[in-house]
Structure formats: C-alpha cells, structure tokens
Amino acid sequence: MTHPVVAEASRHGVIAVLRAPSPDAAVEGAEALIRGGVRALEITYSTPDPASVIRELDRRHGQDVLLGAGTLTRPEQAAEVAEAGARFLVSPGSVAEVAEAMRATGAAVMLGALTPTEVMRAAQLGADVVKIFPASLGGPAFLRALRAPFPDLAFMPTGGVNPQNLADWFAAGAVAVGAGGELTPARALAEAAWDDVERSARRFTDALGAVRSAQP
C-alpha cells in the first residue's frame, strides 16, 4: 500500500532541500520558501539541530506545510525528527539499520540510490520513494531508463533540478523532485537574503504550474 505522504508529496511536486548554517536561518529560509509557494520542506541534518527547526515550523504551520527531514545517516536520527513533526524521512543512501529506524517511525521513507542494484536495495529495505541522487549525473534520460525495469517504484530525483528542466523530470516519470542549491542558494541563506529565496521559490512554482497546465 502506498504511504499517504507519497501522494501528498506528489501533489506538492517540488520538495525544497534546506541546508542552512543555523536553525534561525533554516526557519527564515523556510518561511521565504512558503511565501514563494513551496510548501514541502526537507530540513536536512546538514543544518544544526534540524529537529528544533521542524518543531518550530510545525508549530507555525501544522498540516498546511509538508515537513520532512533529510540526510539521515544514523538510526537514532529518525525518531528525533519524527517526534518533532517530520512526516517523511530521507537518507542519501540505503543502509539497513537506518532504513529500519526510519520505517519504525511510521513516516514515509525515502532512500537514496543511483544504480539499478541500489534501486533494488532501496526497494528491498522498504522505501516508499527512491531518491535518485545525484540525479544530475544522468539527467532525465537516466530516470526514464530506470523506470523501464522498475515501473512500479516512485522516484524522486534530487540534484541538478532547476526550473528549466523541471518539465523534463516529470515527463521522465518523477513523482516529485527535490531541489537544493538551485532553490535555496547557500549564499542567500548565509546572507539572510530572504527575498532572493522567495523569488527562487516563485520561479519553481511558476515552472511547476506550467508543467501541470500542459498535462492532459
């Protein structure tokens, strides 16, 4: 059975991957993204104390924003961020101990993979979504090729996604895309350039709107 959060992530289309230099910067960056129309947020463990960020954003927005946590590399991280309000958990790879801890929370599980063998491993470990990372290495054509042997898996490419190629990723079969540096530039987060983050979010939401209006 498909995890309900997968359908919600698909409705949002774009998941912002937020790597901020401080918890305060992460919260303010998230608010700028929300103002720009991006309401699915992955707060990564590259950000100091991501659980506090998720807890604050959950307090402010509740179910109006889809909150998740990313860059999970240790089992104990899963419960920490799930208890803070993360509804989906993302790991850059597919490690059994980490995947098991992620599944135990009841949150949607997104495991990283690149090769067909890694995709099979992620599916075996119970991934609700397979995160193709770094997707920039193969581009949309690579995702399309992967979907041939794995038509029933949900894929989320992350890395190298931008407004210009958004349509190509969805045409290749992505259920959603993860966008990091193109959406939340490190410079903007470091310099508190929140207007820049909001403008970036609007470029993505405009591109997503164009993709959806073109669909039959």
Residue-level pLDDT at 14? 98
Residue-level pLDDT at 215? 80
> Against a cut of 0.85, is the pTM above it?
yes
DSSP the chain: ---HHHHHHHHH-EEEEE--SSHHHHHHHHHHHHHTT--EEEEETTSSSHHHHHHHHHHHHGGGSEEEEE---SHHHHHHHHHHT-SEEEESS--HHHHHHHHHTTSEEEEEE-SHHHHHHHHHTT-SEEEETTGGGTHHHHHHHHHTT-TTS-EEEBSS--TTTHHHHHHTT-S-EEE-TTTS-HHHHHTT-HHHHHHHHHHHHHHHHHHHHH--
The angle formed by the CA atoms of residues 55, 19 and 69, to the nearest 5 degrees, is: 45
Question: Of 63, 5, 64, 55, nearest to 26 (Cα)?
Answer: 55
Residue-level pLDDT at 137? 93
What domains can you pick out in the chain, each with its CATH number? 4-210 (3.20.20.70)
Residue-level pLDDT at 1? 73
How far is Cα 81 from Cα 69, in angstroms, rounded to an integer? 7
Residues with catalytic annotation? 42, 131
Q: What is the mean pLDDT of each run of 10 residues along the chain (216 residues)?
A: 94 98 98 98 98 98 97 98 98 98 98 98 98 95 97 96 97 97 94 97 97 86
How far is Cα 96 from Cα 42, in angstroms, rounded to an integer? 21
Residue-level pLDDT at 216? 72
Render pLDDT for 37-80 as a digit per residue (tens, 0 to 9). 999 999 999 999 999 999 999 999 999 999 999 999 999 999 99
